[in-house]
Structure 1
Amino acid sequence: MRMAATLQRSLERAHARFDLVPHPHSATSLESARVANVPAERLAKSVILDDRHGHFLMAVLPSSRHLDMGKVRKDSKIWQLTHEADLARLFKDCELGAVPAVGDAYGMNMLVDPQLTRQRDIYLEAGDHENLVHMRMDDYLKLVPDAEVCELCH
């Protein structure tokens, strides 16, 4: 597939410098880190949540960590994992399970764990299971200027 068109447009609009890192097909973000030979703490994993009332939220954390739902606080809503059918509808230009960590580009609010923002660079899914986008952290933060940084992992 290559890079999702929405991600590509977002990178171009932000004038972000990045590299595309091809890797053998992988099913999970942790496996992507392993087969691409990149540090798992620098690979951003997107977890999509919703309030069952049409509001969606992207939680972004290192692929080496797990989301602590108790730490997800945004707009005093009760957030739950989004159903796969909704993911296919929200991320039409992405393969299921390869959602780029750029909620802004897809019209949703974002929370980013500070364990990622403390890294000098970041890797994110490109929209398929065979490519990662690699960029400096300052370029990533320009790409997602409205992202809220808060603890998300346990």
Structure 2
Amino acid sequence: MYIQRLNNYLKHAQVNYQVLTHSPAYKASEIAEMTHISGMDFAKTLILNIDGIRAMLVLPATYRWDQPSFTKMMEANSVELVPESELENLFPNCELGAMPPFGNLYGLAVYLARELSLREQILFNAGNHHEVWQMDYVDYHDLVSPRIITEGYVRKNPPRPVHVHHGGFSH
């Protein structure tokens, strides 16, 4: 089981983590809301095919992958999401869409949004849709050695500018 593999990996590295359980949820933003976690702390995992090489992209729940800018940043000819049918083979003991951000356990390069690297904690699905694991970001970084990126993703709902009307109000 993937959770057991990850648990053993963290124990061997002497890394502490906490497990939060919740009702089944499938979207990163729903999980963050349900568990009262900031969407900036909750990491979602995407598996990409970059010119024929699989890699893992880890983003905060409040962001989405931007294919054109990611492709440009990677100087790649083609970047696509790996089909769900292949995810089942890559992560056979994980529920679909609940892959933890430990691509290094499967020989995958890991690209991590800079915003996650600035957080004290990182929270993520650990192979299923009813548990979130929480650990110190520093420990995660030491174990995974992700490549920190600043391009290739955008905020889902960027804050709107506030327009203040400086009109003449009469009393």
Same fold (TM over 0.5): yes
Note the C-alpha offset of 1:77: 5.1
Q: CA deviation at 1:6?
A: 3.0
- Cα distance, 1:87 vs structure 2: 0.4
Aligned partner letter, 1:50: N
| CA distance in structure 2 between the partners assigned to 1:13 and 1:58 by the alignment | 23
Map Cα deviations across residues 98-135 of structure 1 (whole Å, 9 max, x no partner). Answer: 11011111210010000000011110111100001101
Deviation at 1:52, TM superposition (A): 6.6
Alignment check: 8 A CA contact 1:30 1:40 kept: yes
Please give the residue correspondences for 1:5-154 in structure 2 after superposition, counting only pairs within 5 Å: 5-51=4-50, 53=52, 55-72=53-70, 73-74=73-74, 76=76, 78-145=78-145, 147-151=146-150, 152-154=152-154
What's the offset of the Cα at 1:56?
Answer: 0.6
SS at match of 1:46: strand
Which 4+ stretches in 1 moved above 4 angstroms? none
Q: What SS does the aligned partner of 2:40 have?
A: helix
C-alpha distance after superposition, 1:25-79 (max 9, x if no partner): 10111111111111111000101101473x2110001011111123324474521
TM-score by length of 2: 0.81
Distance 1:52 1:6, change over 3 A: farther
Q: Secondary structure, in 3 states, of the residue corresponding to 1:4?
A: helix
Matches of 2:95 and 2:113, distance apart in 1:
24
In the superposition, relative to structure 1, how do residues 121 and 115 fare at CA in structure 2: closer, same or farther (>3 Å)? same
- TM-score, normalization by structure 1: 0.89
Percentage of identical aligned residues: 26
* C-alpha contact 1:100 1:124 (8 A) present in aligned 2: yes
DSSP-derived class of the 2:59 partner? strand
Larger RCO: Structure 1 or Structure 2 (Cα < 8 Å, ≥ 6 residues apart)?
Answer: 1
Q: What is the aligned-residue RMSD (CA, Å)?
A: 1.8
Q: Amino acid of the residue matched to residue 122 of structure 2?
A: I
* Contact 2:51–2:77 under 8 Å retained in 1: no
Uncovered stretches (5+) of structure 1, i.e. residues with no partner:
none
Q: Size of the alignment, in residue pairs? A: 151
Partners of 1:6 and 1:93 within 8 A in 2: no
CA displacement, residues 70-92 of structure 1 (integer Å, 9 cap, x when unaligned)? 33244745210110010000011
